[in-house]
Amino acid sequence: MRTIKLLPGLILLSIVCAIGTASAQRGERLALPPGEYFHNQQFAIVNYDNIREINTRVANAEGTVYLNDNWTTGTLYTSSGHVLQDAQLKYDIKNDVMEINTADGVKTLMGRYIKQFELQEPTKKALYVSGSNTDVAAGLHTTFYKVLATSPDLNLLMRTELHLKRSDYSPQFDVGSKTDKLVKKEKLFLARGNDLTELEKDSYSVFGNKADRVKAYAKAKKLKLNKKEDAIAILEFYSSL
């Protein structure tokens, strides 16, 4: 079990968790920007600080560098205090760049200038909060964690990692792949304040004095803590204790 840090001072505010249960009355906290951000909405996206024209990038491996391949409607909260609503967004994991599709072409904003963003999914909005710059290895994983579920003192987050699978072609036997491939993998974390604990199959100590009851529940229901849907159900049970 490994513990890492979110951004210093990152505040987790109330949200509706990914499984659709309203939790505002619980007082959960997520990394929403200050309230005045919501009143500073502008639509001239190209005029925002730090937003640039997209550079042409040459692919050197099969697979996608994007969190989602298609343009997705979303809201972007920038470090300069702007809110971009109803923007068409694509996040590039490898280069830590948010691409923004505008009437004047595709613009880009580096991840370090983004506090958080929301992406519209079929039945809900998915919230992504910023992680610590010291926790981001270039080209390894996103700077952002998707919020899957919340409780009064713990929040379930997911990070998408990008792995490079090297070519295994053997010219001697003419077998294997001749090209490198990009593979996306997801990892789960529980956040308590700014501390993140990567979830493994036996990471129940993160539940403190409720760990034994949570573990017994998971065993009875045949749930695995390091599987996304199971982890959501386990956190729901923890919240009910």
Same domain, 67 and 107: yes
Are 136 and 23 in the same domain? Answer: yes
Which of 150, 218, 224, 228 shows the shortest CA–CA distance to 186? 228
- From 36-45, 57-66, 79-88, the region with the lowest mean pLDDT: 36-45
Q: Are 126 and 92 in contact (CB under 8 A)?
A: no
For the chain, give the percent of residues with pLDDT over 70.
65
Per the structure, how many domains does the chain have? 2
User: Do 102 and 190 sit in the same domain of this protein?
Assistant: yes
Same domain? 159 vs 214: no
Q: Which residues pair with 157 in a beta bridge?
A: 147, 189
pLDDT (tens digit per residue) in 177-203:
667 788 888 999 998 887 888 999 899
pLDDT band of 50, cuts 50, 70, 90 = low
**Residues 14 and 132 placed together within one structural domain of the fold:** yes
> Do residues 213 and 185 both lie within one domain?
no
pLDDT digits (tens, 9 = 90+) for 117-164: 999 999 999 999 887 544 444 444 567 899 999 999 999 999 988 877
Does one domain contain both 228 and 188?
no
pLDDT of 118 reads 96
pLDDT tens sequence across 203-232: 999 999 999 999 999 999 999 999 999 999
Q: Check whether 42 has a pLDDT greater than 60.
A: no
Give me the phi and psi of 235, to 5 degrees please. Answer: -65, -35
Q: How confident is the prediction for the chain on average, in pLDDT?
A: 74
The answer, yes or no, to whether residue 110 has pLDDT greater than 80, is yes
What was the pLDDT predicted at 75? 96
Name the residue range of residue 227's domain: 208-241
81 within 8 A of 38, measured Cβ to Cβ: no
Task: Quote the pLDDT of residue 205.
Answer: 93
Q: What is the pLDDT of residue 143?
A: 72
Determine the average pLDDT of the residues in 62-67.
84
Give domain status of residue 229, yes or no: yes
Q: Is residue 171 part of a domain?
A: no
Q: Is residue 214 part of a domain?
A: yes
Digit-coded pLDDT (tens) for 3-12 = 555 554 443 4
pLDDT of 214:
96
Residue 174 lies in a domain: no
114 and 155 share a domain? yes
Report if residue 140 sits inside a domain.
yes
pLDDT value of residue 2: 54
Look at residue 13 in the predicted model and tell me its pLDDT: 35
Question: 173 lies in a domain?
Answer: no
Q: Do 215 and 103 belong together in one domain?
A: no
State how far the Cα of 2 lies from the Cα of 101, in Å rounded to an integer: 37
Q: Which residues contact 148 (CB under 8 A, 6 or more apart)?
A: 17, 18, 19, 156, 157, 158, 188, 228, 231, 232
Residue 145 counted as domain residue = yes
Q: Are 96 and 110 in contact (CB under 8 A)?
A: yes
Same-domain pairing of 233 and 187: no
Please name the residues in contact with 138: beta carbons below 8 A apart, sequence gap of 6 or more: 96
Ramachandran region of residue 65, left (φ > 0), alpha (ψ -120 to 50) or beta? Answer: alpha
94 compared with 215, residue with greater pLDDT = 215
The residues that bridge with 184 in the sheet, in sequence order, are 162
